[in-house]
Amino acid sequence: MGKLIEVKNLKKWFWAGSAFGGRKQAVRAVDDVSFSIARREILGLVGESGCGKTTCGKVILRIHEPTSGKIFYDSEDITHIKRKDLIRLKEKMMIIYQDPFGSLDPRMTIGRAIAEPMEVHKTLAKGERRQKVMDLMEKVGLSSDQINRYPHEFSGGQRQRIGIARALATDPEFVVADESVSALDVSIQAQIINLLKDLQEEFGLTMLFIAHDLSVIKHVCDRVAVMYLGKIVETAPKKVLFSDPKHPYTEALLSAIPIPDPKKRKRGQILMGDVPSPINPPPGCRFHTRCPHVMSICKEAEPDMIGLNDSRQVACYLYDK
Amino acid sequence: MIRLSRLNQERWQRFKANKRGFVSLWIFLFFFVLSLFAEVIANDVPLLIRHRESLYLPLFREYAETEFGGEFETAADYRDPYVIDLIEEDGWILWPPVRFSYDTINYDLPSPAPSPPTRENLLGTDDRGRDVLARVIYGFRVSVLFGFILTFFSTIIGVSVGAVQGFYGGWIDLLGQRFMEVWSGIPTLYILIILSSIVQPNFWLLLAILLLFSWMSFVGVVRAEFLRGRNFEYVLAAKAMGMSNARVMFRHILPNAMIATLTFLPFTLSGSILVLTSLDFLGFGLPIGSPSLGELLAQAKTNLQAPRLGITIFLVLAVTLTMLVFVGEAVRDALDPRRSY
């Protein structure tokens, strides 16, 4: 399996500061991130809110322009391609949004909303689009006779299904699911997750699944990347990561998953303090302010990604031999 | 009939429920449509002449006096009793309800101009012996048409500028705002006074000059809607799927902005009518002799001994503008977003 998406040393800094003379400061939302996603793989990207997960996903889709670094799509460098080529490329790269209430235009029937990507990319003849929309609606579990309804007539879960149908309208290869279930009730979450998994298999999608909920990640993904303050601290196949976390941050995240059994004692530790500001990240390892295993070197130099084996990397001095 | 979406149907129902605004709209439209046919209502030329077994349409063609058995080969003057007698010897004449056009001078008035109402001149004449009713009808038409055209073009320019500023933001917005601050500081009236001393302003020139400034009233509200709308998630979603900016603006943000704009329209219309009236009143408006409400207003001021001139024009203006304001209020209530969901 080849790599469909590859990201090298990707950085995205936003500039914050007053418009009048004040010194502008960089918000390092994504700071030197590298990873790749194989074809038909679902990579989970987890981290606390504000760690740059969503920004990372949007930079890959070139919704945000990267500050530096390179993005490859099917081995083609798409970091600086022309707008015309980018639009052509966007036919193959879609995004499912977090908020099922905000991502649909309230004035547009869902039939038109789902057909919109096809209109933009002119994928099908006009007459065939309606049939395709109806097929898609059936696929995502909506009844095709609801095609002329408006978004406000649907529940949150149904709207998310509409969002998914829209994202699949142009038969994309790569889909970013940006917290696509976190706005939904837990019972609905399960339905949508299963739907996404089914569709991923049926369409052979490659996915970047962004979430802050590890139990969701555990259910969906093949591989997981853990992000902390704009950096990836660990990547590993899902099973390995959950059974044997290496990075102290991953460990802490896993121990924070609630276990629905009062007899089982919680192991591990609860992290103290807050995430430091991405405007002035701490020197050295970004996690050292909260790390239980902090050493003196952690405060001085940033740890590099260390490959423990082919599929597993971790950025921590504990594993530096 | 156009099929309305459910939301728009509700709005239409709310508009209809406002009796005052709804009735005002119909009255206004009735008078406006009526005034569009001013030539048929008030004219010094007959609508139809039957003479010696043939029909004549003097509204559309000039006929020589000789056609009716007269002496001269000049155009027939239908106000001349001699010509009327000639025709009626062998035929008949169908006159419009008001037998004066806006520039017809009635030479045989019972009293010196401005003369009081008679059976011939229902609202009397102005100080040049012209029929006031005819001038009001034509003047109303010019004013309302002027208002419509000015409002239409102001909306197009204002909405476009506001959309571009709000959508792109940043430097474009900043430069646009500063330009407008400077531009709106230019006094329109002085520009008009200066220009009218160089060229005689006509309908279109006046429209163009007023348009230079009137578009700005729309920019603020449209810009605000676009600033808000460009960060809606569905707008970002549309951009993310590769939709062009123009299309995103048209399809996803403009409908939101149009609500606010639509609310403004009746008020802008009444404002435009008022501007033309005041320019005519001051003598910087339409060319001398054209029918206009402002010119009548000026006559009323110089002829205080004939207060019916002033009362007539006051009533016409007040009723027109009040009806437009009522319509505006009804539109505003019907489109109120707090009641639409």
Task: Give the H/E segment covering residue B234.
Answer: helix B233-240
* Residues of chain B positioned with their CB less than 8 A from the CB of A102: 232-234
CB contact under 8 A, A63 and B239: yes
Structural domain containing residue A189? 3-92+172-319
User: Is there a contact between A120 and B234 if contact means CB atoms under 8 Å apart?
Assistant: no
Q: What is the pLDDT of residues B92-118, one digit of tens each?
A: 888 888 888 888 888 888 888 788 888
Distance between CA atoms of residues A103 and A159, nearest Å = 9
Q: What residues in A contact B237, CB-CB < 8 Å?
A: 95, 97, 103, 166
In chain B, residues with a C-beta closer than 8 Å to the C-beta of A55 are none
- Mean pLDDT (chain B) is 87
All residues of chain B having their beta carbon less than 8 Å from the beta carbon of residue A103 are: 233-234, 237
Q: How far is CA B75 from the centre of its chain?
A: 32
Verify whether the Cβ–Cβ distance A86 to B242 is below 8 Å. yes
Q: How far is CA A45 from the centre of its chain?
A: 5
A30: pLDDT strictly greater than 60: yes
Q: Tens digits of per-residue pLDDT, B172-196?
A: 999 999 999 999 999 888 888 888 7
- Residue A94 contacts B where some CB pair is shorter than 8 Å: yes
What does the pLDDT read at residue B4? 65
Alpha-carbon torsion B146, B149, B155, B158, what sign? negative
Residue A276 lies in a domain: yes
Residue A115 located in a structural domain: no
Cβ atoms within 10 Å, residue B132: 27
DSSP secondary structure of A49-116: TTSSHHHHHHHHTTSSPPSEEEEEETTEE-TT--HHHHHHHHTTEEEE-S-TTTSS-TTS-HHHHHHH
Instruction: Give first-to-last CA distance, chain A, whole Å.
Output: 31
Is residue A133 one of the residues assigned to a domain?
no
Q: Do A120 and B252 touch (CB under 8 A)?
A: no
CB-count burial class (<10 Å; 0-12, 13-18, 19+) for A231: buried
Quote the pTM value.
Answer: 0.80
Beta-carbon separation of A150 and B341 below 8 A: no
In angstroms, rounded to a whole number, what is the distance separating the alpha carbons of residues A309 and A289? 28
Mean pLDDT of chain A: 86
- The distance in angstroms from the start CA to the end CA of chain B is 25
For strands A174-178 and A93-96, give the pairing: parallel
* CA nearest neighbour of A304 among A38, A32, A50, A59: A32
Domain CATH number, residue A313: 3.40.50.300
pLDDT in tens, B226-262: 999 888 888 988 888 888 889 999 888 988 888 888 8
Token pair belonging to B297: 């207003």
User: Is residue A144 one of the residues assigned to a domain?
Assistant: no
Q: Which ranges of chain A does DSSP label H, i.e. alpha helix?
A: 53-60, 83-90, 110-121, 126-139, 156-167, 186-203, 214-220, 238-243, 248-255
- Please say if the pLDDT value at position B73 is more than 90: no
Report how many domains make up chain A: 1
- What's CA B102's distance to the chain center, in Å? 17
Question: Cβ B252–A95 below 8 Å, yes or no?
Answer: no
In a domain, A124, yes or no: no
In a domain, A161, yes or no: no
Is the pLDDT at A205 greater than 80? The verdict is: yes
Cβ distance of A120 and B242 shorter than 8 Å: yes
Distance, CA of B290 to CA of B277 (rounded, Å)? 12
Residue A99 to residue B233, Cβ atoms within 8 A: yes
pLDDT at B341 (0 to 100): 45
The reply to whether A45 falls in a domain is: yes
Task: Please report residues of A whose CB lies closer than 8 A to that of B239.
Answer: 63
DSSP B252: I
Beta bridge partners of A31: A11
Domain membership of residue A206 (yes or no) is yes
Q: Return the residue of A nearest to B242 by Cα.
A: A87
Please give the average per-residue pLDDT across B143-171, as a whole number: 93
Q: Which of A97, A121, A150 sits opposite B233 (nearest CB)?
A: A97
Kindly state whether A179 is in contact with chain B, defined as any CB-CB distance less than 8 angstroms. Answer: no
**Which residues are within 8 A (CB) of B206 and not within 5 positions of it... i.e. 6 or more apart?**
B146, B192, B276, B279, B285, B286
Query: Of B69 and B317, which is predicted with more confidence?
Result: B317
Q: What is the pLDDT of residues A135-172, one digit of tens each?
A: 999 999 999 889 988 888 898 889 999 999 999 998 99
Do B166 and B230 meet the contact criterion of CB atoms below 8 Å apart? Answer: yes
C-alpha B238/C-alpha A8 separation (Å) is 27
How far apart are the C-alpha atoms of B78 and B65, rounded to whole Å? 9
State whether B237 and A61 contact (CB < 8 Å): no
Q: How many CB contacts within 8 angstroms connect chain A with chain B?
A: 45
Task: Specify the pairing of strand A223-228 against strand A42-46.
Answer: parallel
Instruction: State residue A255's pLDDT score.
Output: 83
Whether the CB of A251 is below 8 Å from some CB of chain B: the reply is no
Q: Token pair of B311, please?
A: 């009362």
Band of pLDDT at residue A221, cut at 50, 70 and 90? very high
B-chain residues within 8 Å CB-CB of A166? 237
Instruction: Please report how many Cα atoms fall inside a 13 Å half-sphere around the Cα of residue A71, on the Cβ side.
Output: 23
CA distance B162 to chain A (A): 21
> Measured between beta carbons, which residues in chain B are less than 8 angstroms from residue A116?
238, 241, 243
pLDDT above 90: percentage of residues in chain B:
32
What's the pLDDT score for residue A206? 93
pLDDT grade for A122, boundaries at 50, 70 and 90? confident
pLDDT at A312 over 50: yes
Can you read off the two tokens belonging to residue B84? Answer: 């009327």
| CA atoms of B327 and B239, how far apart (whole Å) | 38
Band of the pLDDT at B1, cuts 50, 70, 90? very low
Cβ contact B242–A150 (<8 Å):
no
With CA atoms as reference, the chain B residue closest to A64 would be: B240
